[in-house]
Amino acid sequence: MLFLAVFCGFLAEYQLEHKIESDRAKQLARSFYEELKNDSVNVVIKVENRIKQENAIQYLMKYFKDSSLTNVSKTFALNFLYGITFRTPSLFEPKTVVLEQLKNSGSLRYFKSNELQKLIGDLSVAIHNINDRQLLETDVRYNYLHPLIILHYDYDFDAALKKNDVAFDMAAAAYETSNETLPFQFKSIEKFDKQATINTLGLYGMTILNSTRKVHYQKYITLNAELLKLLRKEYHLK
C-alpha cells in the first residue's frame, strides 16, 4: 500500500506538471493574442498614413517637374507637409513584450505546435526587418530630405499653422479640412535643383517608403493574421 501511495504521488505530480504547463501556455497565448491584435490595428493605420505620404510625394514629383514655384497652392503646402516634413505618422513600432518574453524566458516550449513556433520565428524576423528598414528610411531622410526642408520649407507658414500649440499632425488635419489658406512661400527658389529633387523624392517615396509598405509591412500583416488565426484555433480565443 505504501509503495502504491508513493507511486500514485508521483503520477499526480507528473500530471500536475503537465496541467501547469498547459495553463501557462494558455495564459501566454492569450497575452500574445492581445499583443498581436492591437498591432494588427496599428499597422493598418500606419499603412494608410504611408499611402497618403506616397501620394503626396508623387504629387510633388509631378509638381516640381512642370509647375511654377513662385505662387504655390494650399494643396502643394499640404503635400509638402505630408510627403516631406512628416515622419512619425508612418513609423510602425510593433509591440514585442510578450514575444520577447517567449523568446528569452524559455516559455516558447509551452507551445507544442510546430507551425506556431515557426510563425513566431518568422514574425520575429519580420519585425527585425521592419526596424532595419525604418532605420534606413531615417538615414535617407537625414541625408537627403532634411537639406531640402532646410533650404526650401517656409517656417512662417509652419508657425501660422501651429499657432495654438497644437500637435503638427492635428494642425495639418485641421488645416486640410478648413477653408482657410495660409501663405506658403517656397524658399531659395534660385537654389532649387529640379532633377535632383525629383529623384531624391523618387528614391525616398518610391524606392524606399513604397517598398517598406508593400514588402516588409505586408509580410508582417500576413504573419500577424496567420498567427491570430492559429492562436484562435489552438486556444479557443476570441
Residue 123: what residue type? L
For residues 35 and 120, give the distance between their C-alpha atoms in angstroms, rounded to a whole number.
13
Closest contact distance (angstroms) between CB of 6 and other proteins is 5
How far from the centroid of its chain's Cα atoms is residue 141's Cα? 16
Q: Which residues contact 183 (CB under 8 A, 6 or more apart)?
A: 154, 156, 157
Q: Does 89 bind other proteins (CB under 8 A)?
A: no
Binding region for other proteins (CB under 8 A) out of 116-124, 173-181, 182-190, 225-233: 116-124
Residue 4: what residue type? L
Choice from 47, 117, 166, 187 touching other proteins (CB under 8 A): 117
- Cβ distance to other proteins smaller for residue 135 or 174: 135
Q: Which three cell numbers stand for residue 184?
A: 506658403
Among residues 156, 164, 151, 148, the alpha carbon closest in space to that of 182 is found at 156
- Cβ distance to other proteins smaller for residue 181 or 207: 207
Q: Which residues contact 188 (CB under 8 A, 6 or more apart)?
A: 151, 152
- Cβ distance to other proteins smaller for residue 27 or 71: 27
Q: How many residues bind other proteins (CB under 8 A)?
A: 52
Q: Which three cell numbers stand for residue 36?
A: 498581436
Choice from 41, 66, 88, 106 touching other proteins (CB under 8 A): 106
Q: Which three cell numbers stand for residue 141?
A: 531622410
For residues 48 and 38, give the distance between their C-alpha atoms in angstroms, rounded to a whole number.
16
Q: Does 97 bind other proteins (CB under 8 A)?
A: no
Choice from 12, 17, 24, 147 touching other proteins (CB under 8 A): 17
Among residues 61, 85, 19, 47, the alpha carbon closest in space to that of 220 is found at 47
Residue that has been written with the C-alpha cell 517656409 in this structure: 154
- Cβ distance to other proteins smaller for residue 72 or 130: 130
Q: Does 7 bind other proteins (CB under 8 A)?
A: yes
Q: Does 222 bind other proteins (CB under 8 A)?
A: no
Residues 134-193 that bind other proteins (CB under 8 A): 136, 139-140, 143-144
Where along the sequence are the contacts to other proteins (CB under 8 A)?
2-3, 6-7, 9-10, 13-14, 17, 58, 61, 102-109, 112, 114, 117-118, 120-122, 124-125, 128-129, 132-133, 136, 139-140, 143-144, 195-196, 198-200, 202-203, 206-207, 210-211, 214-216, 218
